[in-house]
Amino acid sequence: TFTTRIDAVAPARGTGDVPAYDTPAMAELRAWVDGIAALTQPARVHWVDGSRAENDALLRGLVGEGKLIKLNPEWRPGSYLARSHPSDVARTEGRTFIASERERDAGPTNNWADPTAMRETLDGLFQGSMRGRTMYVVPFSMGPVGGPLSHIGVQVTDSAYAVASIGIMTRVGDAVTRQIAEGAPWVKTVHSVGAPLEPGQADVPWPCNDEKYVVHFPETLEVYSYGSGYGGNAILAKKCFALRIASVIARDEGWLAEHMLLIRVTDPKGRAHHIAAAFPSACGKTNLAMLRPTIPGWSVETLGDDIVWIRPGEDGRMYAMNPEAGFFGVAPGTGESTNVTAVETLWGNTIFTNVALRPDGDVWWEGLTDTPPARLTDWQGRPWTPDSDEPAAHPNSRFTVSAAQCPQIADDWENPEGVPLDVILFGGRRASNVPLVVEATDWSHGVFIGSTISSERTAAAEGTLGELRRDPFAMLPFCGYNMGDYFAHWLKVGRSLRFDRAPRIFQVNWFRRGDDGRFLWPGFGDNSRVIDWIIRRISGEVVAVDSPIGRLPRREDLNLDGLEIAEADLDELFDVDIDAWLAEADSTEEFYAMFGDALPAALRSELEALRYRLDAA
Ligand code: GTP
Ligand code: MN
Ligand code: MN
């Protein structure tokens, strides 16, 4: 695909000048940028080269404009706090669109928009939307630059906060521009906060617009995001590109773009295993990605915490790679007792959004320590004490930090080839019904389990907290095409693997509760006990017990050494209530109905087989 070879990367100085590549592909990139600038009318255009000097200047500028608060370097060097507008705190799923040529291709789970009409709407919105602001041109690579699984793109944005965040979350800079200049294919992404400044008009700390649009054009590989500065809507390389657009590319090319974490687990015998896990937003991916086992002899290395691209290899195995370079993690609930790895990762060089500020210039959020500080400034900048009615940090407050800072990041986390995948986990937040761990009987049963994942709603997206919703493969908000076709694609990818080398699939649930409402399983580091069983299971060291919903552990095979857990709680953790599961099967049938003809016959058979097993039990 490369048409031109360029020998050297332009020296990075952070001047904002157009990189001086003189190729047809570079001319195309420049013409595209000029076109966006003509539409949005920014005061100036800055080409980001990814240099340290540029990043420093950007952060200084944001502090000067009151958009970032510099934290006390004594506690949190190189770190900043952003406070969003109170209305701009999460992904806006209702305003997220797939503008495919055919409505059918967006499928029943996405908002579809007619691409021609949507382009007109966007033209209107973006008309002059960057007036008075700087438009940044940010070339980024998902995956190590030039890697065989990597994909590149460009984001133009009028948010310097977004630029700083993209700089942490992806590989940004001139090496990418050079690839584009050489003719590599790239994805176009455009972002504006939708808050033009008239001459003399004062800026606000978090510019945004009440009207919001996050629009994907899967056929032309373009993303347009308007009106929001929130990470999930503004860092377009992440959810918009690496999941929604990439899932479409993956469908066409025979691979998978997934909302998953990725870890390497080394067992007491020194054998390494790679596990990817799909849990819906705010359901424990970042926690499991940074697991510290509570059982001796096991170690976990982090490879990724949110997105994994998985490709079938020539050897019939699947190879998994984290396309991101940083973590955009949920802050609340991240503490010494739950995720000490994350706490250590956040020692500095971190951008926090919507957490609370301590009087000493450090940050705090619910769950960081058991006892809150006596006085804080809450996420909206108001005085806060432990008597306050509302949390000090927003429930979806986030940290943005480089993956390289994680103390247990795998040495080879930037290996562009990825790692061979042994296990795939599906999970959600389920107070009842779903056992702590169940093994799928084969790939198609595993796809069935993935397709039926449901979870209680969290703060990561707008909506009613606690309500149960289906979130197949944890991809409901992120699949860029018809979810029924996506199920079929998973089945097809499975068929391309050697049956004895396909990853084994398990369902897990850390969130089952007793009648009194408390979690039955301690979770966090103790989830290593579940991993221990899974690894011994795939190594053929333990047998499992068949149940109507899949294979369950024998009680004696679970490593519960040093854990205080009541027998009754264990019974409940693994209880399979036949009536409740029959009701679950009815609900799955209702859920499946929306896919019509797009639902693969194999999944309908799986549902019927489940009913048959439940009836026979
Ligand atoms: P996104 O980054 O939004 O995709 O979400 P995520 O899946 O990475 O979620 P994260 O790991 O940040 O989990 C958020 C919530 O899950 C926090 O409230 C955690 O305390 C809770 N959590 C994670 N692991 C466990 C567990 O094993 N048990 C319990 N009870 N809660 C957990
Ligand atoms: Mn996520
Ligand atoms: Mn996360």
Over residues 182-194, mean pLDDT: 97
* Residue 10 confidence (pLDDT): 65
Over residues 93-114, mean pLDDT: 97
Closest CA to 122 of 239, 214, 237, 230: 214
Ligand nearest to the CA of 518: 1
Asked whether residue 465 carries a pLDDT value surpassing 60, the answer given is: no
- H helices of 89-229, in order, are 103-106, 115-126, 160-169, 174-181
* Residue 463 confidence (pLDDT): 58
Question: Of ligand 1's atoms, which has the minimum distance to the CA of residue 306?
Answer: 4
* Residue 348 confidence (pLDDT): 98
Specify whether the CB–CB gap between 303 and 419 falls below 8 A. yes
Distance of CA 329 from the midpoint of ligand 3 (Å): 4
Distance of CA 216 from the midpoint of ligand 3 (Å): 23
Q: pLDDT, tens digit, for every residue of 396-413?
A: 999 999 999 999 999 999
pLDDT band at residue 535 under the 50/70/90 scheme: very high
Core vs surface per residue 545-557: b (16+ CB within 10 A) or e: eebbbbbbbeeee
Asked whether residue 165 carries a pLDDT value surpassing 90, the answer given is: yes
Asked whether residue 464 carries a pLDDT value surpassing 80, the answer given is: no
The answer to whether the annotation marks 282 as part of a ligand binding site is yes
* Residue 3 confidence (pLDDT): 62
Ramachandran angles phi, psi of 310, nearest 5°: -125, 125
Cβ neighbours, 10 Å, residue 513: 15
The per-residue pLDDT of the chain, averaged, comes to 95
Complex ipTM tops 0.95: yes
Ramachandran angles phi, psi of 136, nearest 5°: -95, 140
What is the torsional sign of CA 205, 165, 231, 44?
positive
Over residues 112-124, mean pLDDT: 98
Which residues are catalytic, by number?
Answer: 283
Closest CA to 213 of 34, 91, 67, 353: 91
The answer to whether the annotation marks 283 as part of a ligand binding site is yes
Over residues 420-439, mean pLDDT: 96
* Residue 461 confidence (pLDDT): 61
Question: Of ligand 1's atoms, which has the minimum distance to the CA of residue 305?
Answer: 8
Q: pLDDT, tens digit, for every residue of 135-158?
A: 999 999 999 999 999 999 999 999
* Residue 272 confidence (pLDDT): 98
In DSSP terms, 319 is beta-bridged to 311, 420
| CB neighbour list of residue 486: distance below 8 Å, 6 or more residues apart | 107, 247, 251, 472, 473, 475, 479
Q: Locate tokens 């050079």: which residue?
A: 178
Q: pLDDT, tens digit, for every residue of 9-68?
A: 666 677 899 998 999 999 999 999 999 999 999 999 999 999 999 999 999 999 999 999
Asked whether residue 547 carries a pLDDT value surpassing 90, the answer given is: yes
* Residue 468 confidence (pLDDT): 81
* Residue 252 confidence (pLDDT): 97
Over residues 119-140, mean pLDDT: 98
* Residue 99 confidence (pLDDT): 98
Distance of CA 511 from the midpoint of ligand 1 (Å): 10
Our mutation pick for probing the ligand 1 site, out of 286, 305, 339, 366, counting the most ligand atoms within 8 A of Cβ, is 286
* Structure token digits, residue 177: 């521009």
Specify whether the CB–CB gap between 71 and 358 falls below 8 A. no
Over residues 575-591, mean pLDDT: 95
Distance of CA 180 from the midpoint of ligand 3 (Å): 30
Specify whether the CB–CB gap between 176 and 145 falls below 8 A. yes
Q: pLDDT, tens digit, for every residue of 195-239?
A: 999 999 999 999 999 999 999 999 999 999 999 999 989 999 999
Core vs surface per residue 41-54: b (16+ CB within 10 A) or e: bbeebbbbbbbeeb
The answer to whether the annotation marks 259 as part of a ligand binding site is yes
Beta pairing class for 351-353 and 398-402: antiparallel
Distances (CA, A) of 248 to 105, 393, 451: 10, 36, 18
- For helices 483-495 and 601-616, angle between their N-to-C axes, nearest 10 degrees: 80
Specify whether the CB–CB gap between 457 and 219 falls below 8 A. no
Asked whether residue 1 carries a pLDDT value surpassing 70, the answer given is: no
> Which residue's CA lies nearest to atom 27 of ligand 1?
523
Residues 571, 3: Cα–Cα separation, whole Å: 63
Percent of the chain clearing pLDDT 90 (strictly above): 92
Closest CA to 355 of 337, 336, 374, 330: 330
Q: Measured at the alpha carbon of residue 587, what is the angle toward residues 584 and 589, in degrees to the nearest 5?
A: 115
Asked whether residue 92 carries a pLDDT value surpassing 90, the answer given is: no
Rg, Å, the chain Cα set: 24
Q: Locate tokens 């800072």: which residue?
A: 405
pLDDT band at residue 168 under the 50/70/90 scheme: very high
Q: Which residues line ligand 1 (CB under 6 A)?
A: 279, 281-287, 305-306, 329-330, 333, 338, 460, 510-511, 519, 523-524, 527
* Residue 354 confidence (pLDDT): 98
* Structure token digits, residue 46: 């800055």
pLDDT band at residue 365 under the 50/70/90 scheme: very high
* Structure token digits, residue 521: 């399983």
171-175, 472-476, 529-533: segment of lowest average pLDDT: 171-175
Q: pLDDT, tens digit, for every residue of 278-322?
A: 999 989 999 999 999 999 999 999 999 999 999 999 999 999 999
Specify whether the CB–CB gap between 538 and 504 falls below 8 A. yes
